Amino acid sequence: MKDNNKRDQLAISRKTYQKSNELINAMGKGTALSQKLFAIGMQHMKVDETNNVVATIYGTELRKMFKSNSGSLYEHIEALCDRQIKGATIFDWNLLMKDKENGKIEAHQVVTDASFKDGVLTLRYNNSLTDKIVNLKKDYTVLSLSDTLSLKSVYSLRLYEMLKSAYDYQNAIRKDNAEQVLEYNITELKLELGIINSGGSKEIKSELEKPNPDYDRIDELAEKTGQTKYKEYKVFNRSVLSKAKEELNKKTSINVEYEPIKCGRKTTDIRFFVSKKDIAAVNDAVPNINKEEVLDNLIDLLHDDFKLREIREIAEVAEYNEDKISKAYKYMKGYNNQIDVPIAFIKECIKNEYYLSKAKPMKPGANKFTNFKQQNTYDFEALEKELLDN
């Protein structure tokens, strides 16, 4: 299972998907899960007879996204689709797209239908967006599936797409692979992040339809509709920009820095500095440890000789390093002398790395160990339930 997990991570790290720049730069709101499902669904999309794009997402992919290795997916999907349970759902991904050529605004609900049967989630997308989702020939950005799935905040996801799209565009023009400088009006940025939306205001929509919108007026109109979240720059910076920058720099293939641009004492624009990380450095980065996956693997390995509580202890001592635990367990199983307290033995073995050829072997006389007792039997469904509940 350990090798399979590594292969799964490697496979995901190599996968990319194309997303229309029009979709990326559209104003609107959505959830992090709706963005991740779109990214996963891009791997299995088709156009049906009604010209709707249909994405099929299988249970194995859903489990990885929800980090659920056992049990039913039903509750996850129910929360994803039912506003009465969670509030924001995948159906709350809405776009406000400027049609400059025709001088109008288009508003779209992106996901129109969802069904879940036999462990497979099927999503149907608005047929007005079909040519912006599939068969893209130009004006699109190639995004990393692993980058997208690693991000928790919807603002980090949106910024990742926006900055990657703008970086690639500037890099294509300059052809220098250098750091690119990108500037956004702060109200425009909030519109693209979904912090501000039209709110049903005809005045805001009318202003957005103009070739050069008055963002100060849009900001005033948004405040009248009650949209005051992150209004002050210091709050917007602390709660959105700073956290997104930290997450992007830690988890994705781009590096981001930024600075405010002021007019007098008021911050009016944000200047981003975006560069690509060295590919070798990204590949060598230490991945985040998924403790649930490690514990699942350790139950498979150690369940004959240790209780679940003891397996947790072993994992903590080894800092969830499966390789250390596997070597220590192999050393213990091949130990010639009698062992009385297996949990103490394997913990000492891990701490002192007795399994290494150059390490000093444990002395049988130092601890009065005798043989293992009769092997325990386990209810694996109960074990998995206990693991998930904790």
3 domain-assigned: yes
315 domain-assigned: yes
Task: Give dist(CA 43, CA 162) in Å, integer.
Answer: 21
Task: Give dist(CA 279, CA 253) in Å, integer.
Answer: 8
Q: pLDDT (tens digit, 9 = 90+) per residue, 151-164?
A: 989 999 999 999 99
Q: pLDDT (tens digit, 9 = 90+) per residue, 100-146?
A: 666 677 788 899 999 988 888 999 999 999 999 998 888 899 998 88
**Domain endpoint, select from 137, 163, 186:** 137
162 domain-assigned: no
Which residues make Cβ contacts (< 8 Å) with residue 129, sequence separation at least 6? 23, 53, 95, 108, 110
Classify residue 256 as exposed, middle or buried by CB count within 10 Å of its CB (0-12, 13-18, 19+). buried
Band of residue 291 on the pLDDT scale cut at 50, 70, 90: confident
Q: pLDDT (tens digit, 9 = 90+) per residue, 92-112?
A: 888 887 766 666 777 888 999
* Residue among 179, 151, 338 at smallest CA distance from 248: 151
Band of residue 176 on the pLDDT scale cut at 50, 70, 90: confident
pLDDT of residue 61: 81
88 domain-assigned: yes
The average confidence (pLDDT) of the chain is: 81
Is the model's pLDDT at 10 over the cut of 70?
Answer: no
The pTM for the full model equals 0.67
Is the model's pLDDT at 384 over the cut of 60?
Answer: no
104 domain-assigned: yes
On whether the CB atoms of residues 163 and 244 are closer than 8 A, the answer is no
Is the model's pLDDT at 365 over the cut of 50?
Answer: no
pLDDT of residue 382: 54
pLDDT of residue 271: 96
Mean pLDDT of all residues in 356-367: 53
**Domain endpoint, select from 107, 137, 167:** 137
**Domain endpoint, select from 108, 137, 166:** 137
Mean pLDDT of all residues in 255-274: 94
pLDDT of residue 174: 83
Strand-pairing partners, residue 170, are: none
Band of residue 205 on the pLDDT scale cut at 50, 70, 90: confident
* CATH number (domain holding residue 9): 1.10.10.10
58 domain-assigned: yes
What percentage of the chain carries pLDDT values higher than 90? 34
| Range of the structural domain that residue 296 is part of | 291-389
**Which range has highest mean pLDDT (16-25, 246-255, 270-279)?**
246-255
105 domain-assigned: yes
Give 327 or 282, the one with higher predicted confidence.
Answer: 327
249 domain-assigned: no
pLDDT of residue 366: 42
Mean pLDDT of all residues in 27-39: 85
pLDDT of residue 287: 53
Strand stretches in the chain, DSSP E: 16-20, 27-29, 45-47, 53-57, 94-99, 104-109, 111-117, 120-125, 140-144, 180-185, 254-263, 266-276
**Which range has highest mean pLDDT (22-36, 113-127, 369-383)?**
113-127
Q: pLDDT (tens digit, 9 = 90+) per residue, 45-99?
A: 899 999 999 999 888 888 777 766 656 778 778 877 877 665 678 888 888 877 6
pLDDT of residue 375: 42
How many domains does the structure of the chain reveal? 2
